[in-house]
Amino acid sequence: MKNMRLIEARKRKHLNQTQLAEMLGFKGKQSVANWENGHSTPTLVTAIEIAKTLDKEVEFLFGKKVQETQTNGAEVI
């Protein structure tokens, strides 16, 4: 399911996927596209950086689920 909150928050900051990815230290837009399309979730550290960049709360953008690491999922309580 698409992450409409993330998409709208990014657009409100007048950023495209590539710009957001570069601000977060990623080389291309693929990670941002995957998060927005619901194919993956960012790590907790990355989710915090996204939230700061977009002036939103992590829970607002991603609910209670983000990854502890690149391979393991975790719930944030």
H or E segment and range at residue 11: helix 4-12
CA proximity to 61, closest of 72, 46, 71: 46
CB 42, CB 31: distance < 8 Å: yes
- The pLDDT assigned to 66 comes to 77
One digit per residue, the tens of pLDDT, for the chain of length 77 reads: 899 999 999 999 999 999 999 999 999 999 999 999 999 999 999 999 999 999 999 999 998 777 665 544 544 44
Where are the domains positioned within the chain?
4-75
pTM score: 0.84
- The pLDDT assigned to 65 comes to 73
The second-level CATH assignment, the architecture, of 4-75 is: Orthogonal Bundle (1.10)
d(CA 44, CA 12): 22
Amino acid at 30: Q
